[in-house]
Amino acid sequence: MKTSIKHFIKTGILLFIIFQSTQAFSQDIVKYDYAEIFVTQKILNTRKHKYELKKITLVGITDEKGIDEIELSALKTNAEFFKYMNERNWEYFSRTFDPADFQSLYIETQYIFRKKIKSGKE
């Protein structure tokens, strides 16, 4: 009788340790918030890939995302634009544009940025 109780306790402790260790090694699903920004650029020199930002349009972006349209409109180059987004912890995700736009003086590019959403555990 006493051996079965000891066996039961040992098994319970072993299962408890295994359960706790699997929780420690499990991964959280990373969730992202996305920002869609349209940028109209004037082509200055296609060979040197020099562009001047002319107009920035935010799509569905609210104030709590930390992106200010007035501050963005003051930016003049792509480098300034990407620096602004990186300073606010936005990660470049993708870019789309119409190659036919390169025949004109202005091109419109859609940039998508993403930012990790903090979970309740952090």
Q: With beta carbons less than 8 A apart as the criterion, state whether 109 and 95 touch.
A: yes
Residue 63 falls inside a structural domain: yes
Give 92's strand partners: 113
Q: What is the mean pLDDT of residues 16-28?
A: 64
Residue 3 falls inside a structural domain: no
At 122, the pLDDT band (50, 70, 90 cuts) reads very low
Residue 101 has a pLDDT of 63
CA distance 66 to 60: 13
Residue 46: closest CA among 110, 109, 107, 111: 107
- Beta-carbon neighbour count of residue 97 at 10 Å? 15
For residue 22, give both structure tokens: 């699997």
Q: What percent of the chain has pLDDT over 90?
A: 8
Residue 2 falls inside a structural domain: no
Residue 104 falls inside a structural domain: yes
At 46, the pLDDT band (50, 70, 90 cuts) reads low
Vertex 63 angle, CA 114 and 79, to 5°: 50
Residues of the domain holding 107: 32-116
Among 11-20, 72-81, 88-97, which is the least confidently predicted range?
A: 11-20
Residue 17 falls inside a structural domain: no
Structural domains of the chain, count: 1
